[in-house]
Structure 1
Amino acid sequence: MTRSTFTGIACGAAAGALWGLSLLAPELIGPFAPLQLASVRFVTYGVIALLLLAPKLKTLLPHLGAAEWWGLLGLSLMGNIIYYSLLSTAVQLCGVAMPSLIVGFIPVTVTLVGALRHDSTLHVRQLVPSMLLSAGGIVCIAWQNFHNASPQHQGGLWVQLAGLLMAACALLSWTGFVVKNANWLRRLDHITHNDWNLLTGLVTGALALLMLPLAFLLPQHLPATGWAHFLMVACGMGLLASVVANAFWNSMTRLLPLTMVGQMILFETLFSLFYGFLWEQRFPRPLEACAIVLAISGVISCVRAHGPAKHG
């Protein structure tokens, strides 16, 4: 394993550790709605991005044309606003497990897209073992979820199906984000990965400002208490799961090929499961432990497929 590969994997793990908190956050905000959490989180992302970018804007703006701004708009929607709103709603409808398993398919979808690209150094068949291991882990979690549903999320078949649909749409949205973001980072060698992250945050924050009236003015009854706790969780997500985690992710995206980038998303699934176990104060069940082993094996298999001879 080369040094850049090791650094890329470490950055992917760090991003996953912080993103894993995002799946737990809807459980922590009590009576507040997912849209309210998402809007405050992303406004925070935008405000922090603006403060950090302010000294650099005069230097950066000449490098940003209409295509770049449209690209940032698409990334902000796919990777932040749409994705997290769908994911948060799915978590509140049916708990952490189902969204975790559906979003867990992202490594398979992104790896497949990366392998089918004309510039891929690997054939799809070389990545089949890692994708099968990843899918096996997801199947284990799916089986566990549908046979051991959490009592507070047993809302009937239609609620479960609605949560499933929301999570599936989140999967498609974030797959598009990962692929498009990787394309932009490879094209814009004159903009650092963190500046691109902050520019994405700037656009995301502007969009989130438009969400605030929808999130807080339309509901007839807003919670009377718990505002300090809600703001602490939402702003914490904006800093940790957006500003910091996305910086790690963009750094990793420039260090690893797209076929390996997909597998790094498994860290989010692993950490979200770990946080879920802590929240529920229990150890993994046998199928969950099997899923963790399979997911880690999938990452190892993917790294081996990208050995020094194929990626250096």
Structure 2
Amino acid sequence: MKMDRAILAGMGYGVLAGAFWGTVFLGPRVLHAFSPMQLSASRYLLYGLISVVLILPRWRALAPKVGRTEALALLRLSLLGNIVYYVFVASAVHLAGVAATSLIIGLLPMAVTLVGSREQGAVPLRALVLPLALGAIGVSLIGIDLLGRPVEGGLTTAQRLLGLACAAGALVSWTLYAVLNSRWLTRLPSVSAHDWSLLTGVATGTLALGLAAPAFLWGGVPHAPGDWALFWGVSGGVAIGASVLGNAFWNRASRLLPLTLTGQMILFETLFALLYGFLWDGRWPTLMEGLAILALVASVALCVGRHHRQPQAASEAVTPEAA
């Protein structure tokens, strides 16, 4: 029963992380007049600033736990999971649209689960074939629906291909981040998931300083004051929601779930991204989209069932949350 409660709590955190992360796909669409570099720099500068403010009261207790090795790891993780990932995502949304980007990013659960199946104590990959197949079917249905629509915004074929390449880059970048971040959380049980998220924010904000000049000073397009107000408002909301809260929830889920199940939780980012897109467009899902959503939900449910039937394998991969 203890393992079941841990999995239930971990899933809850995973769903919350997906709900906040889904806004990442909507932000570039709302702020389509701004460059991917500006979107990334603003979001992570604000993430870093907020993290510094929140971590200062606890820094004296945290400092002894963060040496040179941990600091370098935080910089690598921040580069992979935040800076590089979001530049790729924002570029993909600009060039290929939200649906196409969601399609490629929707492969993240399969990628992370496949890598996680090699971790010690993981549920055997053969037990996850059906959930993975359903996830792939769901993503494929979104792709089939996408191909049947007109090209968004008059984009050329070359632009769409470049956008898909950017989405693929985001897929690789975040897969590496998810696996390495999970390993570091296991290595540092004395650092809470929330504190690790804030430390990641500080590292990300430091890296984002290098983006500020090229993003806002060199070759920037003039914008009206009202556009800038919307820009910083949306960037602040994404920084607080997706970065501060979403990352904290994700770290908690990573501590409570085996990597093979953690990978499946990323499906909720795709589901919420689709939901927000439907709300923004003011429409219901198409038949294909509805079937895709059902397939994705069934994929997660079956994956949970596989872990429930093999508690020993899953429990070995669960690390209790630090206080």
Q: Identify whether the pair has TM-score above 0.5, normalized to the shorter chain.
A: yes
Aligned residue in 2 for 1:236: 237
Give the distance between the partners of 2:50 and 2:137, measured in 1 at CA: 39
The question of whether the paired residues in 2 share the 8 Å contact of 1:93 and 1:159 is answered with yes
Q: Is the 8 A contact 2:100 2:143 kept in 1?
A: yes
Residue aligning to 1:176: 176
**Is 1:302–2:303 an aligned residue pair?**
yes
Tell me the alpha carbon deviations over residues 46-94 of structure 1, each in whole angstroms, 9 at most, x when there is no partner.
Answer: 0111011101112111111221111101110011000001001100112
**How many angstroms does 1:145 deviate by?**
1.1
Contact map agreement 2:107 2:171 (CA 8 A) in 1: yes
Q: Equivalent residue for 2:40? A: 38
Q: Please say if 1:256 is aligned against 2:257.
A: yes
- Over the aligned positions, Cα root-mean-square deviation in angstroms equals 1.2
One-letter code aligned to 1:204: T
1:95 partner letter: G
Instruction: Provide structure 1 residue ranges, at least 5 long, that are not aligned to the other structure.
Output: none
Q: Where does residue 167 of structure 2 map in the other structure? A: 167
Query: What amino acid is the match of 1:274?
Result: L
Specify the code of the residue in structure 1 equivalent to 2:299: G
Structure 2 CA distance, aligned partners of 1:229 and 1:150?
A: 27
Question: Could you tell me whether the CA contact under 8 Å between 1:140 and 1:291 is conserved in 2?
Answer: yes
Write out aligned runs for 1:43-54 (5 A).
Answer: 43-54=45-56
Contact 1:216 1:222 in 2 (8 A): no
Shift of 1:194: 0.7
Give the distance between the partners of 2:38 and 2:103, measured in 1 at CA: 24
Number of equivalenced pairs: 310
* 1:36 Cα deviation from its structure 2 partner: 0.7
- What is the DSSP-based 3-state SS (H/G/I as helix, E as strand, rest coil) of the residue aligned with 2:144? helix
Equivalent runs, 1:1-312 vs 2, <5 Å: 2-117=4-119, 119-149=120-150, 151-152=152-153, 154-225=154-225, 226-307=227-308, 309-310=310-311, 311-312=314-315
Give me the whole-angstrom Cα distance separating, in 1, the residues matched to 2:150 and 2:89.
18
TM-fit CA distance, 1:221: 2.8
Distance, in Å, in 2 between the alignment partners of 1:263 and 1:149 is: 31
Deviations 1:232-283 (A, max 9, x none): 0011111111001101000110000000000000000000001111111111
CA displacement 1:169-212 (0-9 Å, x = unmatched) = 00000000000000000010111111110000000001111111
- 1:46 aligned partner, one-letter code: G
| Structure 1 CA distance for aligned equivalents of residues 144 and 261 of structure 2 | 27
Superposition deviation, residue 222 in structure 1? 2.4
Bigger CA drift: 288-297 or 60-69?
A: 60-69
Report the Cα offset of residue 220 of structure 1: 4.6
Whole-angstrom CA distance in 1 between matches of 2:178 and 2:294: 25
Moved beyond 4 Å, runs of 4+: none
TM-score normalized with structure 1 length: 0.97
Separation in structure 1 between the aligned mates of residue 8 and residue 220 of structure 2, nearest angstrom: 51
Could you tell me how far apart the structure 1 residues matched to 2:102 and 2:223 are? 28
**In 1, distance between residues paired with 2:77 and 2:40?**
16
In the alignment, the residues of structure 1 paired with residue 150 and residue 137 of structure 2 have an alpha-carbon distance, to the nearest angstrom, of 20
Q: Is the 2:116–2:122 Cα contact (8 Å) retained in structure 1?
A: no
Residue 164 of structure 1 deviates from its aligned partner by: 0.4
Q: Residue 81 of structure 1 contacts residue 208 of structure 1 at CA under 8 Å; is this kept in 2?
A: yes
Paired with 2:122 and 2:269, the residues of 1 have a C-alpha distance of: 26
SS of 1:69 mapped into structure 2? helix
* Deviating more after overlay: 218-227 vs 235-244: 218-227
CA distance in 1, matches of 2:44, 2:222: 20
